[in-house]
Amino acid sequence: MQTKEINSLVLAYLGDSVYENYIRKKLIAQKIATVKQLQSLATHYVSATAQAAFLKILVQENYFSDPELEVLKRARNTKGHAHPKGCDMITYKQATALEALLGYLTLENETTRCEQIMDKIWEVSYDCIWKKCS
């Protein structure tokens, strides 16, 4: 099966784990002492609202290639059944699109690009999260 033929929500399912694993590793590298603190900080990154905001910043910076934008658009336009409490459908679809792109890149063995995107998210989030939390 071609990666482009895989359902976007399936790609997002994989991308969600890629995203969360990256964030957990970065937070642990910050030498945070407790799981409670780790979980508290992780929620600043691992939420539909945060992911949608990070995606918006990267799109505004023209960070994505045309093929990556195609994956994002396809995923954003996928019909879903429901969205989590605490965010609207548009925010949820944007977050899902980011996760789908990460899942797509993972299946395409584009681990370097996936890492670049996550590094960029970490970079743009630094001021808005770490300076507030410290």
Give the CA count within 13 Å in the CB-facing half-sphere of 4.
Answer: 6
The CA-based diameter of the chain, rounded to the nearest angstrom, is: 47
- Choosing from 16, 66, 88, 127, the catalytic residue is 16
Closest CA to 72 of 45, 42, 105: 105
Confirm whether 66 is a catalytic residue. Answer: no
Report, as residue numbers or ranges, the catalytic residues. Answer: 16
